[in-house]
Amino acid sequence: MGYAEEMNQKVSKPRVAFYTLGCKLNFSETATISRDFDSERFEHVAFEAPADVYVINTCSVTENADKKFKGLVKKALKQNPDAFVAAIGCYAQLQPEALVEIDGVDLVLGATEKFKLIDYLGDLTKKTSGMVHSCEIVEANHYESSYSLDDRTRAFLKVQDGCDYKCTYCTIPRARGISRSDSLDNIINQALEITQRGIKEIVLTGVNIGDYGKGEFGNKKHEHTFLDLITALDEIEALKRIRISSIEPNLLTDKVIDFVAQSRAFVPHFHVPLQSGNDEVLKKMKRRYLSDLYRDRLKQIKSLMPHACVGGDVIVGFPGETDSAFLDTYTFLADLDISYLHVFSYSERPNTEAISLAEVVPPALRNKRSKMLRGLSAKKRRAFYESQLGATVDVLFENDNKRGYITGFSENYVKVRSPWNPMIANTIQKVSLKSIDEEGFVRFNKTVKV
């Protein structure tokens, strides 16, 4: 049935669709905001379907995210030219005037206003020009709790927001404001609510979660620490698995590593941003560590958890990254016992310190270096998977039928798959890892429910 035919039918309530760009934190916030659109007043539909309201949660980390937003607006209007289009999120805070000038955008909400989205949707009539509601970022000091429930297998639980770091390439402090945390009591209650939905795994998210405790109860001092947080969560018996999404190396303390190594629920998987293996580049980035500290953190993890999966972020093509500096990064990572990489080409962002730095690396060279590190990442992941063959692990299987297969992740982030079996969806199964297939997934022997 076409859209015009559908319009001829009586529609009792407006249809709303959401799309999220960027990180796990954005996904948790989209899910929370979408729950304000209760089923009695709105009908939730997929973004690919005709809708009356399209909400796009934006990201500003890379230029590609900016471009993708424009494509999503066109896609929405192709499905319904009269649809009301709202932009929220980081890019909406940083560049609201640029977004509202995009043809078809009706509403742009900043960092604090996005959580009141439904209050701005009294009139869904298409406007000739859009409206902007965006506070100054210094006013973004209130904390909004968020968690996702869209995936029945795992939930993203926001524990912290904002950042007080001054990395020269990063726009996040200008998009999200100062570092602030949810209260420990709120987080515990939200974790309990999540487990009551039958969700097996929680992923802790935030901008800088190792800084947890700062801004709790509006207090700049730490009421609790990140170690306090994970210790309290580990005591929730109903929580089967807890995963740390990403943590800065200078905040990943020995005490945190030691706790994860002996914890009941926290899995042996760490994602630790590196950005560069060259110390001079790290200094220009104003990172709060040098390469020796990063190497030490990985050694500490592997000494206690040899089977742990450790991933990292790397930026290539930062201003001043010479061939020699890039080779330092490549060699550093090649020699490191790391399991995979997320590789980003440096992207000039307005109002950052790095945009004014000299020795700009040409885009073509950035792309070449990115391909080299992506190739290294593929080798590292393959080597890590091969090191796990023969091991017996617990795998949490997902609900989706993906081209006739069911997939899942082990505690230490090995991705496995098998022919579709709905009986093991959203269950934790003990399996023996036996081989790697042609698409890079790990196959396993007979499952035994845990």
DSSP three-state, residue 67: helix
Q: Which of 353, 368, 386 represents a domain boundary (last residue)?
A: 386
At 268-319, the pLDDT tens digits run 999 999 999 999 999 999 999 999 999 999 999 999 999 999 999 999 999 9
Torsion of CA 356, 359, 365, 371, to 10 degrees: -70
CA dist., res. 380 & res. 390, Å (int): 18
Residue type at 180 in one-letter notation = R
Q: Which two tokens stand for residue 379?
A: 């080798």
Q: Is residue 1 part of a domain?
A: no
From 10-24, 221-235, 312-326, the region with the lowest mean pLDDT: 10-24
Per-residue pLDDT averaged across 333-344, rounded?
Answer: 98
Q: What was the pLDDT predicted at 22? A: 87
Kindly give, in sequence order, each residue whose CB lies less than 8 Å from that of residue 433, ignoring residues fewer than 6 positions away: 388, 389, 390, 391, 392, 393, 410, 414, 416, 442, 443, 444
Q: Is residue 397 part of a domain?
A: yes
Q: Which two tokens stand for residue 360?
A: 């700009």
Residues 148 and 259 in one domain: yes
We report the CATH number of the domain holding residue 61 as 3.40.50.2300
Residues 262 and 348 in one domain: no
At 60-95, the pLDDT tens digits run 876 677 788 999 999 999 999 999 999 999 999 998
- For the chain, the distance separating the N- and C-terminal CA atoms, rounded to the nearest angstrom, is 45
How distant is the alpha carbon of residue 318 from its chain centre? 22
Residues 147 and 253 in one domain: yes
Q: Which two tokens stand for residue 137?
A: 């970022």
We report the CATH number of the domain holding residue 339 as 3.30.750.200
CA dist., res. 113 & res. 93, Å (int): 9
Residues 161 and 222 in one domain: yes
At 88-120, the pLDDT tens digits run 999 999 989 989 999 999 999 998 899 999 999
Residue 292, exposed/middle/buried by CB under 10 A (0-12, 13-18, 19+)?
Answer: exposed
- Work out the pLDDT band at 193, boundaries 50, 70, 90: very high
Percentage of the chain beyond pLDDT 90 is: 78
Residues 329 and 362 in one domain: yes
Domain tally for the chain?
A: 4
Q: What was the pLDDT predicted at 137? A: 75
Residue type at 167 in one-letter notation = C
Q: Which two tokens stand for residue 121?
A: 């949707």
Q: Is residue 432 part of a domain?
A: yes
Residues 153 and 122 in one domain: no
Q: Is residue 216 part of a domain?
A: yes
Residues 212 and 107 in one domain: no
Number of Cβ atoms within 10 Å of the Cβ of 178: 16
Q: Which of 347, 371, 386 represents a domain boundary (last residue)?
A: 386
Residues 152 and 233 in one domain: yes
- Work out the pLDDT band at 8, boundaries 50, 70, 90: very low
pLDDT of 9 > 70? The answer is no
Where is pLDDT greater, at 232 or 149?
232
DSSP three-state, residue 249: coil
DSSP three-state, residue 66: helix
392-439-314 Cα angle (round to 5): 85
Q: Is residue 2 part of a domain?
A: no
Nearest to 109 by CA among 97, 98, 96: 96
We report the CATH number of the domain holding residue 444 as 2.40.50
Q: Is residue 273 part of a domain?
A: no
Residues 249 and 177 in one domain: yes
Residues 221 and 202 in one domain: yes
Averaged pLDDT of the chain: 92
Residues 86 and 25 in one domain: yes
Contact 207, 160 (CB under 8 A): yes
201-205: strand order across its sheet: 154-158, 201-205, 241-244
Kindly give, in sequence order, each residue whose CB lies less than 8 Å from that of residue 52, ignoring residues fewer than 6 positions away: 14, 15, 16, 80, 83, 84, 124
Per the structure, the complete domain to which residue 36 belongs is given by: 9-135
What residues does 108 pair with on adjacent strands?
A: 87, 132
What are the phi and psi torsion angles at 230 (to 5°)? -70, -30
pTM summary value: 0.90
Q: Is residue 367 part of a domain?
A: yes
